[in-house]
Structures are given as C-alpha cells and as structure tokens.
Amino acid sequence: MTDSKKPIEAQRAEAFERLESKIKILEDWAVSGIPFKLRDAHKQVDEKGKLVLEYFPTSISGLRLWNGTQNSEDVIKKYKIPTSQTSDKTWKAAPNTVRIRVEGNEEKLSLFIRLKETALIQSSNKEKTKIQKLEEKLEISETNRKGLANELIELRLANKFFEEELNTAENKIKGTQEVMTQQLEWKNNLLKQAENKAYELNIELNRLRRLLTENGIEWDFNDEINTVIDFPGNKDDD
C-alpha cells in the first residue's frame, strides 16, 4: 500500500514517528557529540583548520527538511536518519512538550543552541587537556540535566491536570448515577403504589360482585362507560 492510499491517521502517526526519530538523534548528538565527517577513516578539516562535522539542522525549517541527503551514507545507516521530510502541518500539530524539547523556553535552551555549542567545542582542532575535556563534558551534561529537569516538571504538571480532569469526570458520572438511581427508586415506588391500588380495587370489585349476586341483583361491569344494574321488583313505566 502506497502512502497516498494509507488512512490519514496512519500517515499522521508515521509522520510523528519520523519527527520523533529526528529529535532523538539530535538530542543524542547534543549530549554525546556530533559525528565527524570522515575521509578514508580520518577526520576532515576545513580551510581554517577546524574539524568538519556531519550536517545537523539549526532551525525548525532545517529540522523539517532534514532527510539525510546532506549526511554521509554511513551516518544515515548508523543513526537511521528518516529519509522523508516533515511537513509544516505535522510540526504545527506536534504536542507542546515536543515543541519545547526543540524550541526551548525561558528555563531551557533550544535543541539548536545546544547542538551549536556542542559543535563549537568539537570543531576546535586544538589539543585539549583531560581537564578541559572533562569540563566541556560537564558543561554539556549540566545543560542537558536542566533540560530534562524542566521536562520532568512539565510532565508532572500535565499529569496533575489529567488527574484533575479524570476526578471531575468521575464525579460527574457518580452524580449522574446517583440521580438515575433516585429516579429509578421513585418510579419503582410509584409502580408499587399503582399495583397495590389496583389490587385493592380488584378486591373491592370482587366484594361488590359477591354482594350483588347474593342479593339477586343483576350486574354487568363489561361496559366501562355506562354500567347498568337491574334491581328486582316492579319497574315504573316511562
């Protein structure tokens, strides 16, 4: 089945999966380092003597259009870079937590800034002492730690919101059930009262029939509109 023939929801889910894959790759590069461009297994340097890194996007549009065509085949295979671009519609429909991971907020640097900082450290071709390297790794680690802490706070707030929504919904359901139970009990009581009344009327009717029969009075209760009872004795002429 081609993409054009897949259900819209399936296509949308796949688009979000590809976007998530791209973001995870870049988050990993921001922490662990961006791959170096290699030639014959050696790191390449530019005309200024700086180490050359594999391509990485530095903007939203760059992230959307990134499909590995600007990267080496080995990097595409190793990191499984999605080969399809991301539409603007998919990006705009992405959850807020995903957008914050990329764009950042007041308390968190954007993914692009973190990538640029990592690239700046990596591209320097000067020999560094072990202490310098450890300090750089520590700085990168601290930046990402703050980002993860902010994400955790956002997830907790979102979870609290959903818990409150769930409690509200449960209370509404409970209230509705109580009202329905009360109405059912009320109607059951009315039904029982009607049944008891019918039973009492039936007893009274049978008693009346018995009295009429015992006194030789003819009766006919089939006519609900005009019941006629013939009493014994002489009848006056009209």
Q: How high is the pLDDT of residue 30?
A: 94
Instruction: Please work out, in degrees rounded to the nearest 5, the angle formed at the alpha carbon of residue 213 by the alpha carbons of 212 and 217.
Output: 60
Which residues does 143 contact at the CB level (< 8 Å), separation at least 6? 109, 114, 117
**Residue located via tokens 């450290």:** 121
Contact 51, 123 (CB under 8 A): yes
Question: How many angstroms from the chain centroid is the CA of residue 157?
Answer: 15
Three-class DSSP category at 203: helix
Which positions ≥6 away from 9 have C-beta within 8 Å?
Answer: none
- Lowest model confidence (mean pLDDT) among 67-71, 128-132, 225-229: 225-229
Check pLDDT > 90 for residue 221.
Answer: no
Tens of pLDDT, residue by residue over 62-97, are 999 999 999 999 999 999 999 999 999 999 999 999
- Gyration radius (Cα) of the chain, Å: 42
Confidence category of residue 127, pLDDT binned at 50, 70, 90: very low
**Regarding predicted confidence, which is higher, 4 or 118?**
118
Asked if pLDDT for residue 57 goes beyond 60, the answer is yes
Nearest to 16 by CA among 78, 84, 68, 69: 84
Higher pLDDT, 196 or 76: 76
C-alpha dist (Å) from residue 125 to 41, 68, 119, 163: 17, 26, 12, 52
pLDDT in tens, 147-174: 888 888 888 888 888 788 888 888 888 8
- The pLDDT of residue 158 is 83
Cα distances (Å, whole numbers) of residue 9 to 76, 84, 92, 99, 222: 27, 17, 16, 20, 68
Output the pLDDT for position 123. 81
Residue 154's closest CA among 113, 107, 110, 91?
A: 107
The pTM (predicted TM-score) of the whole model is 0.52
